[in-house]
Amino acid sequence: MAGESVKLLGFWCSPYALRVKWALKLKGIEYEYVEEDLVNKSPQLLQYNPAYKKIPVLVHHGKPVVESLVILEYIDDTWKQNPILPEDPYERAVARFWAKFADDKCVPAMMGAFTKQGEEKEKAVKEAQENLKILESGLGEKSFFGGDKIGFVDIAVGWIGVWVRLTEEVAEVNLVDAKTMPLLNAWFERFPELPTIKECIPPWDKLLEHNRNFHKRLTAGST
């Protein structure tokens, strides 16, 4: 059975590790957290994730599960309390669809807005806005993607709310506001205020400092 012996290899400001922390917290699962040095990857990490060599890795009874969305599904399959995915097959498919859409379409564009400059940056900003608007249509008038309670999409995508604000601040762009995306904007504010969610998010100023430094390094040597 589920039992004990749960370990999470992560990095303090990784949104992908954050997803997993949220899921574990919501299910009340106790785990050992291991902070990985991503510059000098541990032999443990390389052994557990030879294909990607990335965090997060969830280790349960010594067996590794990698790729954050795969980990979320594994957690939901293994620990049945506080289900993350809906019961209904169609609703499950819809939830998986939006999580994939956010990862495939919103995140790269948002990263582009952060990392690029000039015309390419403008293009990325526009793309991010368009895709975030589409994401908003998946939320609709609901409080959360999961309905009245948070669910799979909220856990998978919720980090974007924080990172959009970081990107806006550091890269000096406007991605989501109350005028252009009132529903998504409201969810961006509502979701991180939930106690279980808030507890896991690193302090804003630490995140900001880390991302400013990252941004500086990225834009320093560019023509």
Exposure on the CB side of residue 87, measured as CA atoms within 13 A: 3
**What mask, x for binding another protein by CB under 8 A, covers residues 102 to 141?**
--------------------------------x-------
Could you say which of 23, 29, 55, 65 contacts another protein (CB under 8 A)? 65
Residue 22's nearest CA partner among 100, 63, 105, 82 is: 82
Structure tokens at 10: 């992560």
78 touches another protein (CB under 8 A) = yes
Contact indicator for 55, 16 with CB cutoff of 8 Å? yes
93 touches another protein (CB under 8 A) = yes
92 touches another protein (CB under 8 A) = yes
Could you say which of 34, 82, 83, 101 contacts another protein (CB under 8 A)? 101
Structure tokens at 130: 């368009």
Strand order in the sheet with 32-35: 32-35, 6-10, 57-60, 63-66
3-class secondary structure, 221:
coil
96 touches another protein (CB under 8 A) = yes
Q: Which residues bind another protein (CB under 8 A)?
A: 50-52, 60, 63, 65-67, 69-71, 73-74, 77-78, 89-90, 92-93, 96-97, 100-101, 134
